[in-house]
């Protein structure tokens, strides 16, 4: 992965934690990263060039006014006041290139000196085995802290380890082999049309990113929620707040003027309208 620094900018060693989305249903990860970038007033520090990501361009995503400052497919941002770095991904990865993309991302993150990667993503609620009847969205996680994906610090936040994650399971093993340079085995190739619910998670972009960063020796965490397609602003607000709790930054520490102190990005307003009243969720 190549990058071009914005004039007078550089990657800061005072921002050791990097948060990025893994594209999935409802674009919740991207929306949450948008919200975190906007509310922390993070500066764009670099444009990233990754051949496996489809190119795209649009008007300024964060404003406050649309002045024609282009937003591209992959960009890096930093907020030194919050000691946070971000990668925002605005277009999907070419079919069949997800593992290559994940390995390139892990190499790049390691090369710029980041030591904790937080991946935000969503899961299809139609794949959920147990329905939580409570009104609050349940946050799930995976962590490289322990081999089974568990982390006692995240349990203290009231989060649940992602059910059915089993690093010894066939497809997770296969994914680990791929990010380490292994080839496709014949028995795996033969049963690609017979995926079970246990295989669903390992097939998603967050799984490739998690496996690649873990193989690189980086500390990596995934913060996840179930959702359906639609207006996913509520989930994005709640996942952004979950990231704040994880990193010790309450929403009140952001310089927001919107719902719950958040600054809603300019790019949302033409699509979603005013932010929801988060007090009802």
Domain range annotation of the chain:
14-127+134-270
Identify the pLDDT of residue 260: 57
Compare 231 and 87 and report the one with higher pLDDT: 87
Q: Based on C-alpha coordinates, what's the Rg of the chain?
A: 18
Question: Across the chain, what does the average pLDDT equal?
Answer: 85
CB 171, CB 202: distance < 8 Å = yes
- Cα separation, 53 vs 95, in Å, equals 10
Residue 158: pLDDT above 70? yes
φ/ψ of 85, rounded to 5, equals -120, 155
- Cα separation, 273 vs 258, in Å, equals 13
- Cα separation, 244 vs 240, in Å, equals 6
Q: pLDDT band at 70, cuts 50/70/90?
A: confident
Tell me the whole-structure pTM to 2 decimals. 0.88
Residue 277: pLDDT above 90? no
14-127+134-270, CATH topology level: Rossmann fold (3.40.50)
Q: CA of 204: how far to CAs of 17, 26, 212, in Å?
A: 23, 14, 13
Identify the pLDDT of residue 249: 74
- Tens of pLDDT, residue by residue over 13-53, are 999 999 999 999 999 999 999 999 999 999 999 999 999 99
- Cα separation, 152 vs 154, in Å, equals 5
- Tens of pLDDT, residue by residue over 213-244, are 999 999 999 999 999 888 888 999 999 999 99
* Helical H segments across the chain, by residue range: 28-40, 98-111, 152-156, 170-179, 186-190, 197-200, 205-215, 233-247, 266-272
């Amino acid at each position: 992965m190549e990058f071009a620094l914005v004039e007078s900018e550089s990657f800061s060693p005072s921002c050791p934690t990097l948060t990025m989305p893994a594209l999935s249903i409802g674009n919740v990860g991207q929306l949450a990263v948008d919200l975190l970038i906007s509310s922390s007033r993070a500066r764009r520090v670099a444009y990233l060039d990754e051949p496996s990501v489809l190119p795209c361009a649009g008007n300024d995503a964060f404003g406050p006014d649309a002045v024609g400052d282009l937003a591209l497919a992959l960009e890096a941002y930093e907020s030194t006041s919050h000691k946070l770095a971000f990668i925002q991904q605005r277009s999907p990865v070419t079919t069949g290139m997800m593992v290559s993309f994940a390995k390139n991302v892990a190499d790049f993150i390691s090369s710029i000196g980041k030591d904790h990667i937080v991946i935000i993503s969503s899961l299809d609620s139609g794949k959920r085995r147990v329905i939580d009847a409570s009104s609050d969205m349940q946050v799930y996680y995976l962590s490289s802290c322990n081999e089974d994906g568990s982390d006692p610090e995240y349990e203290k936040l009231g989060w649940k380890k992602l059910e059915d994650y089993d690093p010894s399971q066939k497809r997770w093993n296969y994914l680990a082999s791929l990010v380490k340079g292994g080839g496709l085995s014949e028995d795996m190739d033969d049963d690609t049309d017979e995926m079970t619910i246990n295989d669903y998670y390992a097939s998603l972009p967050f799984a490739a990113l998690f496996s690649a960063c873990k193989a690189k020796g980086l500390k990596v965490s995934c913060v996840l929620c179930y959702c359906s397609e639609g207006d996913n602003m509520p989930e994005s607000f709640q996942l952004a707040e979950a990231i704040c709790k994880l990193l010790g930054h309450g929403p009140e520490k952001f310089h927001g003027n919107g719902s719950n102190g958040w600054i809603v990005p300019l790019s949302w307003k033409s699509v979603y309208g005013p932010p929801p009243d988060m007090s009802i969720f």
